[in-house]
Amino acid sequence: MINAAIVGLGRWGQKLVDSVQTADGPKGDAIKVTRAVTRTPSKVEDYCKGLGITLSDRYEDALEDSSIDAVILATPHSQHADQIVAAAAAGKQIFVEKPFTLNRADAVRAAEACAKAGVVCALGHNRRFLPAMQEIRQMIDSDTLGQMLQVEANFSGNGALRYKADMWRANGAEESPVGGMTGMGVHMIDSMVMMYGHIEAVRTVSKRQVVEVNMDDTSVIMLEFRNGRLGTLTTLAATQPLWRIQFMGVKGWVQLSHHTKMESLIDGVGRKQRDFDATDIERAELEAFAAAASGGAAYPLPVEDAVHNAAVLEAIIASAKQNGERVVVAG
């Protein structure tokens, strides 16, 4: 079992901790969170006390603690690269929430620091751990759907309607460019990369229509893959929750909605529906990280994909600033 420090203990940081332990102790034998770092400790004192977690407001406390094997970064996006580099220099294994970084240069810098230090760098794209996504990947790889042509996805929610100007996620210039991309859309980009490979170029149109804070709430992206396939992604930050992704090939298509509901139509032989059991994908990703950090199986998201995803995000942001002009993905 590895001992980890959670860095950033807001809503999502607590969700990550809760996925692997309770007040009675760890849920499994892979990972235990024993230290926490947050900007305002007073807000989470009771939470940490209930879980027996040591709390402070200095990142250095976690890096200097010899009992800590790993850090889990659930911090503002713009801080990731520097925090990864510092953790790698301290010899800590690293799990970082998406997005990896906001541009390719920072992603390369972070990845190189981890490689030099010989530590694991795991990016938290938890949909890779959905059983249904593994099933779809097998369908694509086995040619069940024939030659693949296109993918379309929508990941939306209404969180921005509740944002206040002093929240870090409400900073459209630094933390949430292109509205819901950094919080939601990047997950779909990773799912597309997982199935179709790397992306060649993007076109983005993004607007602020209803939210009061300074960020976009409606974004549409067109994607060209290096293998010739096409894709579209829509992400809204001001509508009711929606999660769906559909892969289309010559023989048929398969769609996954809300993680567990799969529908397909192949060779015109009637639509088929299948429900999957719900999976704790946060626990799955953290336990996979712990296994890799302990010398076990490699984490199932290659660092090269993490760097590429950052380059795609950078291109999406650039295209939005250029009113939808085609931008080639770097690297």
Residue ranges, CATH 3.40.50.720, the chain: 2-126
Q: Which fold has domain 2-126?
A: Rossmann fold (3.40.50)
Q: Hey, is 36 helix, strand or coil?
A: strand
- What is the structure's pLDDT at 134? 97
User: How many other CB atoms are there within 10 angstroms of residue 261's CB atom?
Assistant: 14
- What is the structure's pLDDT at 173? 81
Q: Which residues of the chain have pLDDT under 50?
A: none
Overall pTM > 0.85: yes
- What is the structure's pLDDT at 268? 87
What angle is formed at CA 142 by the lines to CA 139 and CA 148, rounded to 5 degrees?
A: 70
- What is the structure's pLDDT at 133? 98
- Whether 95 and 124 have beta carbons less than 8 Å apart is answered as yes
Residue ranges, CATH 3.30.360.10, the chain: 130-328
- Whether 35 and 62 have beta carbons less than 8 Å apart is answered as yes
Which structure tokens are listed for 94? 């690293």
Architecture of the domain delimited by 130-328: 2-Layer Sandwich (3.30)
Residue position matching structure tokens 């210039």: 173
- What is the structure's pLDDT at 237? 96
- What is the structure's pLDDT at 280? 97
Kindly report the backbone phi and psi dihedral angles of residue 276, in degrees, each rounded to the nearest multiple of 5, phi listed first: -105, 150
- What is the structure's pLDDT at 223? 98
Q: Nearest-CA neighbor of 310 among 108, 144, 120, 163?
A: 108
